[in-house]
């Protein structure tokens, strides 16, 4: 019996050896299709949410409080709290106050599914702000779609977070389709580099962005010498970097989050062939934590960020409230606080437009009407600019900013579509 299993194991191994290795240059496969039909707890959502006097309007929040980017996740959560505080200080809606139900989406698809099921099973949840990461949002998406709960993500940038089939999917952040294109354009035309390598962390977000960057680079006429994946949570990238270094690229683009980005920036300096190569990463790595972790290796590296069209006056008011409540500057933790604040404001604005008071003094919110109201948001003044949702659910304003690190600080070097 034992030997039989040994033979089975061997055949499996043989099959593995015989399979051809994937070519490093395969063009972008279709980015992660949202997983269909994860059997959710059959949700008991009715067509309307009825809130009795004294009860609150409950908005769910899926924030990446653990996982690879806990600091930006915390920032997004705190900004959402500020938005809720502000709404309540202004009296809520007809005396009904808002409540933020914060859950940890952990920046992962698995945990996004867990959070999604939790919200779907809770018939008092009206709408959701989140998720923080794209993979997490892919977990939320099919569940909230079935449960008819609209969501607005402040920071999930993968192009497929919103699509024509999903009427509950919306976001304030800008799509990576823009960011990857702008990044490639910056590298090719502004830095004048032709030979680059792309790396990603195998997250939906990082891999998707790296593929967009690679394709854009090739379309511009540049050469992509390597396309290498690592894992979120890895700490030793030397083997992958040595392989990339053999191709002598002039720049490495990394699609992923700050912890891994900082380690790659450091370990590049210790890899033959990459000592003088430049390093560029993305909005997932554009954090103070990157600067601290990478230290001296951060100098001269580039970061892009899907920035809002910052409204100075609103931003100042927001920052004052944030500092007063949490005792820290919002930018200390992460970049997406403006988008987070706006996602709550956008949801509240849509609720205000559809909520009605019935004869017994209850606040009644029709779910389908709310989904349509979120999508029909137009000209809403937010911190990140004037928010107008298009037919796909892209509600963000602004463009892509590119920063370099100088003396331990981010300094903007370019801005596109601002």
Partner 1 sequence: MRWLVRLLGVVVLLLLAWRVAAVGLAEGYPASFWISQTLNGLVLGGVYALIALGYTLVYGILLMINFAHGDVMMIGGFTGFFALQLWIGVGWLDGSALWVVLALVLTVVAGMLGSVLAGITLERVAYRPLRGAPRLVPLISAIGASLFLQYSVLLIFGVTPRAYTRPALIEGGFRAGDVFVPYTGIIIFIVSLVLMLALYLIVQRSKLGRAMRAVAEDKSTAALMGINVDQVIVFTFILGSALAGAGGVLLGFHNTVVKFNSGFIPGLKAFTAAVLGGIGNIPGAMVGALLLGLIEALGPSALGIPTEYKDIIAFSVLVLILIFRPSGLLGEVLSEKKA
Please check whether residue 234 is in contact with residue 261, taking contact to mean a CB–CB distance below 8 angstroms: no
Question: Which DSSP category does 108 fall into?
Answer: S
Q: Which H or E element spans position 219? A: helix 204-220
How much is the CA Rg of the chain, to the nearest whole Å? 23
The C-alpha atoms of residue 118 and residue 139 are separated, in whole angstroms, by: 12
Cβ-based nearer residue to partner 1, 233 or 417: 233
Please name the residue that has the structure tokens 């806990």. Answer: 70
Name the minimum Å distance from CB 268 to partner 1. 10
Cβ-based nearer residue to partner 1, 272 or 323: 272
Chain residues that interact with partner 1, rule: CB under 8 A:
3, 6-7, 9-11, 13-14, 16-18, 21-22, 24, 65-67, 70-71, 202, 228-231, 233, 235-236, 238-240, 242-243, 245-246, 259, 262-263, 266, 269-273, 275, 289, 292-293, 295-296
Tell the burial category of 50 from Cβ atoms under 10 Å away from its Cβ (0-12, 13-18, 19+): middle
Name the minimum Å distance from CB 235 to partner 1. 4
Name the minimum Å distance from CB 197 to partner 1. 12
Cβ-based nearer residue to partner 1, 168 or 244: 244
Question: Which DSSP category does 233 fall into?
Answer: T
Cβ-based nearer residue to partner 1, 18 or 164: 18
Cβ-based nearer residue to partner 1, 66 or 362: 66
170-195 core/surface letters (b: 16 or more CB in 10 A; e: else): bbbbbbbbbbbbbbbbbbbeebebee
Name the minimum Å distance from CB 337 to partner 1. 17
Residue 48 CB neighbours (<10 A) = 17
Question: Which DSSP category does 160 fall into?
Answer: G
Cβ-based nearer residue to partner 1, 276 or 360: 276
The C-alpha atoms of residue 249 and residue 29 are separated, in whole angstroms, by: 23
The C-alpha atoms of residue 281 and residue 301 are separated, in whole angstroms, by: 8
Name the minimum Å distance from CB 224 to partner 1. 14
Name the minimum Å distance from CB 14 to partner 1. 6
């Amino acid at each position: 019996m034992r030997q039989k299993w040994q033979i089975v194991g061997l055949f499996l191994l043989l099959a593995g050896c015989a399979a051809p290795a994937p070519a490093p240059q395969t063009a972008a496969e279709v980015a992660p299709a949202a997983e269909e039909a994860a059997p959710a707890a059959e949700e008991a959502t009715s067509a309307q949410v009825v809130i009795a006097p004294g009860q609150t309007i409950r908005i769910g929040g899926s924030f990446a409080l653990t996982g690879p980017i806990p600091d930006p996740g915390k920032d997004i959560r705190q900004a959402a709290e500020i938005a809720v505080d502000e709404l309540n200080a202004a009296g809520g809606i007809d005396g009904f106050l808002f409540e933020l139900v914060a859950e940890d989406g952990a920046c992962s698809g698995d945990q996004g599914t867990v959070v999604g099921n939790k919200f779907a099973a809770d018939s008092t949840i009206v709408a959701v702000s989140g998720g923080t990461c794209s993979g997490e949002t892919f977990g939320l998406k099919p569940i909230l779609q079935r449960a008819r709960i609209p969501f607005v993500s402040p920071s999930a940038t993968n192009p497929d977070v919103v699509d024509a089939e999903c009427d509950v999917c919306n976001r304030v952040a800008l799509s990576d389709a823009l960011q990857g294109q702008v990044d490639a354009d910056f590298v090719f035309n502004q830095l004048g580099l032709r030979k680059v390598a792309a790396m990603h962390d195998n997250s939906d977000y990082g891999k998707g962005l790296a593929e967009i960057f690679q394709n854009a680079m090739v379309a511009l006429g540049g050469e992509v010498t390597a396309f290498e994946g690592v894992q979120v949570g890895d700490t030793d990238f030397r083997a992958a970097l040595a392989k990339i270094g053999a191709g002598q690229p002039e720049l490495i683009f990394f699609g992923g989050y700050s912890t891994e980005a900082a380690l790659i920036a450091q370990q590049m300096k210790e890899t033959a062939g990459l000592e003088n190569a430049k390093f560029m990463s993305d909005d997932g790595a554009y954090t103070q934590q990157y600067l601290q972790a990478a230290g001296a290796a951060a100098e001269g590296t580039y970061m892009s960020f899907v920035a809002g069209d910052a409204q100075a006056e609103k931003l100042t008011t927001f920052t004052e409230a944030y500092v007063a409540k949490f005792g820290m500057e919002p930018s200390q933790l992460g970049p997406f606080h403006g988008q987070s604040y706006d996602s709550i404001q956008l949801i509240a604005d849509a609720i205000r437009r559809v909520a009605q008071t019935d004869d017994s003094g209850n606040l009644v919110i029709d779910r389908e009407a709310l989904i349509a109201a979120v999508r029909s948001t137009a000209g809403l003044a937010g911190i990140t600019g004037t928010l107008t949702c298009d037919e796909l659910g892209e509600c963000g304003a602004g463009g892509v900013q590119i920063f370099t690190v100088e003396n331990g600080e981010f300094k903007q070097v370019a801005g596109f579509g601002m």
